Structure 1
Amino acid sequence: MDLNTVLEVRDARRRDTWQDGDAWLGGGTYLFSEPQPHIRRLLDLSRMGWEPLRVTAAGDLEIAATCTIAQLSRLPTPAGWTATPLFEQCCRAFLASWKIWNMATVGGNLCNGLPAGPMISLTAALDGVCRLLSRTGAVREVPVAEFVVGAGVKVLRPGELLRSITLPARALAARTAFRQASLYGLGRSGALVIGTLDPVDHSLTVTVTASTVRPIRFWFPPGPGARAVRQAIEEGVEPDEYYDDIHGLPAWRRHMTFRFAEEIRRELTEEAAQ
């Protein structure tokens, strides 16, 4: 879609003063998908030269905000990264064609902040931390689970830029379980729940997304029972936090959340004990 209110496209490497009507341009799959009458200037990130995927000396994975879904999907899997099946599972959770995969970015998915954003699901479940840059050069770090605080609502300040998301080595070595539900085949996620079993202390974390307006994480000591998991979700998710749109009613999303959480608990804890 043409954005006929845009008057200028600028190289994001130039440190211009942030103005009302500015927007960062990454892959553009959302920006150009519907009218954006408030936008007057696009700051193009395509020439920033950020390495899409980088393994740090500590074994963490740094994902540049401009990394595309296709690049993430093709990530080689080092030995010991038992959590890497989640990358492909979450990439496949996109309601998108291969053409979108080659343009849409990980950072764009997070910055849209939509409940069904599978890159939010992936990075929140693996203890991801967002690195945010202000126009003055100041840096702050925010856990992905705290970066999105509502449907389309983020903690980004005016002019602030998501630079990267870092996934710690310990999370990448976790055992994982993935569950997703949609009202129809290849449809937008109505519930997406991910479980991780810590490789060190064997604690269980259940991350609820898509069914709720924000990612919500639950931590349990080793070997939690079904009652403990259900009670934690009942107390940790407010009734109005279950999302309501044409892709699923809140009651159905809630039901699927409990069902998936229990399936994940059994898969990661009971089977591991056998």
Structure 2
Amino acid sequence: MDLDTVREVVLARDRADLAQVGAGSAVLAGGTFLFSEPHDQLHRLVDITTLGWTPLLERSDGLEIAATCTLAEFAGARPGRELGAPTLRPEWPGTALFAQSCRALLASHKIWRTATVGGNVCLSLPAGAVLGALVALDATAVIWPRGGGERRIPLRDFVTGPGENILATGAVVRSFLVPTASLLARTSFRKIALAPLGRSGAVVMGRREVSGRCAITVTASTVRPVVLDFSAVPTAFDLEAALVELEPDIWFDDPHGAPDWRKHVTGLLAGEVAAELRRSS
């Protein structure tokens, strides 16, 4: 769709160019959502793909994923396979969630080559499975505020509701940091939808670290990602008790699933995820 109110496209070359992000402007990366519907309030786009950020970068404490990393790069970054970035270590089984989360999205491979990880996170939609995968891997968001400096926040605290997050006007998400402990973890993934190719009604991802710690992350069925932390893989009783304690209004309601159905299937999927993690121990 043409954005006929846009009068200027800024090709960002360094951080100083990001100062033009503010009221009436939007960050352009993949643009698959931006160009999908009218945005009459916009008059400027700031293209951050020209900043040349490395899609995936191995660090001493884990993996850094640039906000401009495409879904194709993210999904293709499996252990032992190089995709425009350092080869991921074969002892990083946690990266299995990368491709699984991309396949949970209603998107063609053409979209995969354009849409970005940062875009999926910043849209903050319940069905944002890439967002959910990074939350499940205990990622941290690196944010560049408009006035300079850097802010880091656990990604589980980034989203506040459907399409809502803590990103302030003028701030830009730079990258996501996934710790080594999560990359070394065993994971499990489950998804359900009302139709074979329908939008996700519930997505549950589990992470069991080498230390034994376990986290069960719920997305799509909830208005924001929910993480249930345990000292070990939870029993069926402990898992059910943790789900029951969630506030009633956490369950999402839209044409792709009623809250009571989403709550019910989430419990079933969470049980399967916990069972799989227990078998892999």
TM-score (norm 2): 0.92
| Distance of 1:15 and 1:94 partners within structure 2 | 29
Alignment of 1:7-156 (within 5 A): 7-13=7-13, 14-58=17-61, 60-77=62-79, 78-156=89-167
Residue aligned with 1:31, SS: coil
Residue in 2 that maps onto 1:257 = 266
Q: Post-superposition shift, 1:262?
A: 1.0
In 2: Cα distance, 1:104 partner to 1:223 partner: 34
Inter-CA distance 256–7: structure 2 relative to 1 (3 Å threshold): same
* Cα displacement string for residues 99-135 of structure 1 (whole angstroms, at most 9, x for unaligned residues): 1000000000000000000111110000000000012
In structure 2, the CA distance between the partners of 1:66 and 1:251, relative to structure 1 (3 Å rule), is same
2:111 aligned counterpart, secondary structure: helix
Task: Specify which of 174, 180, 184 is matched with residue 195 of structure 2.
Answer: 184
CA RMSD of aligned residues (A): 1.3
- How far is 1:18 from its partner? 4.1
Amino acid paired to 1:130? A
Partner SS, residue 32 of structure 1: coil
Q: Contact 2:19–2:170 (CA<8 Å) still a contact in 1?
A: no
Indicate yes or no: 2:229 matched with 1:219. yes
Structure 1: stretches of 5+ with no match in the other structure: none
The offset of 1:246, in angstroms, is 1.0
Identity rate, percent: 45
Letter in 2 for 1:248: G
80-89 vs 220-229, greater mean Cα deviation: 220-229
DSSP-derived class of the 1:84 partner: helix
SS at match of 2:130: helix
Aligned partner of 1:162 in structure 2 is 173
Aligned partner of residue 191 in structure 1, secondary structure: strand
Structure 2 residues without counterparts, runs of 5 or longer: 80-88
TM-score normalised to structure 1 length: 0.95
Q: Deviations over 1:189-230 (max 9, x none)?
A: 110000111112x12210010000101101112253211111
Task: Give distance in 1, aligned partners of 2:225 and 2:247.
Answer: 13
